C-alpha cells in the first residue's frame, strides 16, 4: 500500500480543482479498501507523497480513536485487534 506513495504526481489540467491532503487521504484509503487501483492512483496524484503519508497517518489516528470510543476500549487494544496482534 505505502509503496504507491512514491509515484510522481500526474500533471493536472489547468482547470483541475486542488485537493487538500485530507481529501486525498480519504479517497486513497477508501480506494485501497475497495481494491480500486484507478481511484487509488488518482488520489495518489492529488498531493505530494509526503502530504499523502501525513493525511493517511492522521486518518488512521482518527479512525482508531473513533473505534476506541465506540467500543469503549483503549486505542492500543483496538489497534492490536485490527492488526491481529496479541493483546497485552
CA distance 55 to 74: 22
Residue whose entry in the numeric block shows the C-alpha cell 479517497: 27
Q: When comparing pLDDT for 10 and 19, which is higher?
A: 19
Please give the pLDDT value at position 70: 98
pLDDT, position 57: 97
Distance CA 53, CA 76 (A): 21
**pTM of this structure:** 0.75
28-86 confidence digits (pLDDT tens): 999 999 999 999 999 999 999 999 999 999 999 999 999 999 999 999 999 999 999 99
DSSP tag of 7:
S
Amino acid at each position: 500500500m505505502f509503496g504507491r506513495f512514491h509515484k510522481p504526481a500526474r500533471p493536472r489540467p489547468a482547470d483541475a480543482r486542488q485537493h487538500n491532503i485530507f481529501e486525498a487521504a480519504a479517497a486513497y484509503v477508501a480506494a485501497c479498501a475497495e481494491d480500486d487501483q484507478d481511484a487509488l492512483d488518482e488520489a495518489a496524484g492529488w498531493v505530494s507523497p509526503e502530504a499523502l503519508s501525513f493525511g493517511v497517518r492522521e486518518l488512521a489516528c482518527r479512525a482508531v480513536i473513533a473505534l476506541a470510543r465506540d467500543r469503549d476500549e483503549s486505542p492500543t487494544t483496538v489497534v492490536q485487534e485490527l492488526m491481529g496482534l496479541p493483546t497485552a
